Amino acid sequence: MSSSYYMKPSRMATPSVASVMCYSLPPTTGKSLTSKNLLGILSIPSLFSRMTIDLKKPIPLYQQVADSVRADVLSGKIGSGEQLGSHHELAKKYDVSLITIKRALNDLVRDGILYSRAGKGTFVHDISAARRSLGTKTIGLVLRDLKSPFFSLITHSVEEYASQKGYNLLLSNSSQQIEKEENLIRHFYEIGVSGLIIASMSHEYTASHLLREIFEKNYPCVVVSFIKDPDVYFVGTDHEQGAYMATRHLLSVGHKSIGYVDGELGNVVGELRKKGYLRALGEKELSAPGQFIFRLRERGEEHDYTSGYEVGKTFVKQSGRPEAMFIYNDLAALGFGQAVLDSGLQVPDDVAIVGFDGIERGQYARVPLTTIQQPFDRIGALAVENLIKRIEGRPVEIKTVLEPRLIIRESCGAHKKG
């Protein structure tokens, strides 16, 4: 690790809206608040609002209280130099015991966030200086969803490579809310992190006004989710080529009628993949009748499995079904395949399936999923490498587009065809 203050994630509940992942910090020896300490303070759930105390969480109550006070300090709800309420007032506010409050405050004093004056009470340290010095060799990662199997793999690669290069990483979660995403981007920019890596949840696929403003100020930033703007630094997959590879593989196995499950309406990435699918069919002078094209109903990765299942239920009732299906992503493909199996049909005997992404879950499916695997490790590593080049003022390609690879498993029928 590049810094002894950057530890593996501590035991936290699922991060809330506009949150950053919590990393455990060793006790500080002094009582002054340094930029290193602030790395821990930034790494709290609920960056812009006080977290609630939940008795059902596996996290100790004193830790929940401490995290809540940290959030209030960082958000400015409790200003530098302000006095906290008395122990009795805080116990009533959080509905916990006095012992819980004392332990929470002792931890915050130990970490230099608060300080005590005998007979006067507990006060907030001045964190402005630490904020200004935070940016030294620190990368902010704004992630659309920590639960995403795709972006979690990229996150692992980013963290590993940033550490190798001597950079701290602040990991944030926008919880699939564009307003919170922009708040996080603005916050990281204002506290002066060295640069940003962004996995946006915007379905506009163009730079937002805020992102455009940051780019125009030449602030180092790299996007790892698809974006159309030709002047925005990007590292990602060639989606059209990947879809072409998937469809070409199904053709090579011997399938002549191949359908496609597209993303939801307005999904540009889905349309790119459809383009590759149609290109592969066109090379064999094959068509894609309208009844061979399906579309996921709901927007958002959290809905892809159930949307894929719904499409699968429609598919099995259809006469003149295609022999094989290329499906927008692995989660939808897994849902689609489960619906086929639940109907009594077989994969790949009745319908062959190929997905896209290469998430780990696919290999453990009831019928292991053939997929187009995005190069997660290379995306994360090159995003960090390109960002550091920008930070250091070195030249770097604006667009780095990587070719995915075909992972052949049982769902496509290749093994049965020999």
Domain chopping of the chain, boundaries: 19-131, 134-237+376-402, 239-375+406-417
Alpha-carbon distance of 324 to 307, in angstroms, equals 18
95: left (phi over 0), alpha (psi -120 to 50) or beta: left
Structure tokens, 6: 């950057």
Q: Is 80 exceeded by the pLDDT of residue 10?
A: no
* Residue 365: band (very low, low, confident or very high) from pLDDT cuts 50, 70, 90: very high
pLDDT of residue 319: 92
* Cβ neighbours for 125, distance < 8 A, ≥ 6 positions apart: 31, 32, 33, 80, 112, 113, 114, 115
Which option is the CATH number for 239-375+406-417: 3.40.50.2300, 3.40.47.10, 3.30.420.10, 3.20.20.20? Answer: 3.40.50.2300
When pLDDT is averaged across residues 121-143 and rounded to a whole number, the result is 71
Distant-in-sequence, close-in-space partners of 415: CB < 8 Å, separation ≥ 6? 408
pLDDT score recorded for residue 25: 30
The per-residue b/e assignment along 299-335, b for 16 or more CB within 10 angstroms, e otherwise, is bebebbbbbbbbbbbebbeeeebbbbbbbbbbbbbbb
Q: Do strands 293-295 and 399-402 pair parallel, antiparallel, or not at all (unpaired)?
A: unpaired
Contact 321, 351 (CB under 8 A): yes
pLDDT digits (tens, 9 = 90+) for 368-383: 999 999 999 999 999 9
pLDDT at 197: 95
Share of the chain above pLDDT 70, in %: 79
How much is the pLDDT for 208?
78
Residue 8 — very low, low, confident or very high, per pLDDT cuts 50/70/90? very low
Task: Categorize the per-residue pLDDT at 22 as very low, low, confident or very high, splitting at 50, 70 and 90.
Answer: very low
Handedness of CA 225, 401, 331, 275 (dihedral sign): positive
Q: Which pLDDT does position 109 carry in this prediction?
A: 85
Express as a percent the part of the chain with pLDDT over 90.
51
Question: What phi, psi does 400 have (nearest 5°)?
Answer: -115, 105
CA distances from 104 to 109, 338, 390 (A): 9, 48, 41
Dist. CA 174–CA 17, nearest whole Å: 6
CA distance 304 to 310: 10
- Decide if pLDDT at 72 tops 80: no
Question: Cβ contacts of residue 317 below 8 Å, gap of 6+?
Answer: none
Predicted confidence (pLDDT) per residue in 26-61, tens digit? 333 344 444 444 444 444 333 333 345 777 666 788
Kindly state the greatest CA–CA separation across the chain.
Answer: 86
Classify 113 as helix, strand or coil. Answer: coil
> Which pLDDT belongs to residue 168?
86
Query: What pairing do the DSSP bridges indicate for beta strands 195-199 and 221-223?
Result: parallel
Q: What confidence score (pLDDT) does residue 415 get?
A: 86
| CATH top class, domain 134-237+376-402 | alpha beta
Structure confidence at residue 50 (pLDDT): 38
d(CA 402, CA 298): 28
pLDDT on residue 399: 96
**Least confident range of 141-155, 300-314, 348-362:** 141-155
Helix (H/G/I), strand (E/B), else coil: 393: coil
Who has greater pLDDT, 18 or 253?
253
Q: What is the mean pLDDT of the segment spanning 131-154?
A: 74
Model confidence at 288: pLDDT above 50: yes
What was the pLDDT predicted at 248? 98
Residue 5: pLDDT band with limits 50, 70, 90: very low
**Residues forming beta bridges with residue 237, ordered by sequence position:** 402
Between 286 and 9, the higher pLDDT residue: 286
What local confidence, expressed as pLDDT, does residue 58 receive? 65
The pLDDT assigned to 259 comes to 98
The one-letter code for the residue type at 98 is L
pLDDT at residue 91 is higher than 80? yes
Of the candidate ranges 99-103, 392-396, 413-417, the one whose mean pLDDT is the lowest: 413-417
pLDDT tens digits for range 224-247 = 999 988 999 999 999 999 999 999
Q: Which two tokens stand for residue 122?
A: 């507990």
CB atoms within 10 A of CB 268: 16
Say yes or no: do domains 19-131 and 134-237+376-402 share a fold: no
Q: Strand, coil or helix: what is 292?
A: helix
Whether 132 shows a pLDDT value over 70: the answer reads no
Whether the per-residue pLDDT at 62 is higher than 60: the answer is yes
Q: For residues 225 and 207, give the distance between their C-alpha atoms in angstroms, rounded to a whole number.
A: 11
When pLDDT is cut at 50, 70 and 90, the band that residue 17 belongs to is very low
**Residue 225: how many other CB atoms lie within 10 Å:** 18
Measured CA to CA, the distance from residue 382 to residue 388 in angstroms comes to 10
| Third-level CATH fold of 19-131 | Arc Repressor Mutant, subunit A (1.10.10)
Q: Spell out a b/e string for 137-151, using b for 16 or more CB atoms within 10 Å of the CB, else e.
A: ebbbbbbbbbebbbb
Res. 212 pLDDT band, cuts 50 70 90: confident
Buried b (16+ CB within 10 A) or exposed e, 91-127: beebebeeebbebbbebbbebbbbeeeeeeebbbbeb
Instruction: Average the pLDDT over 65-91 and give the result.
Output: 82
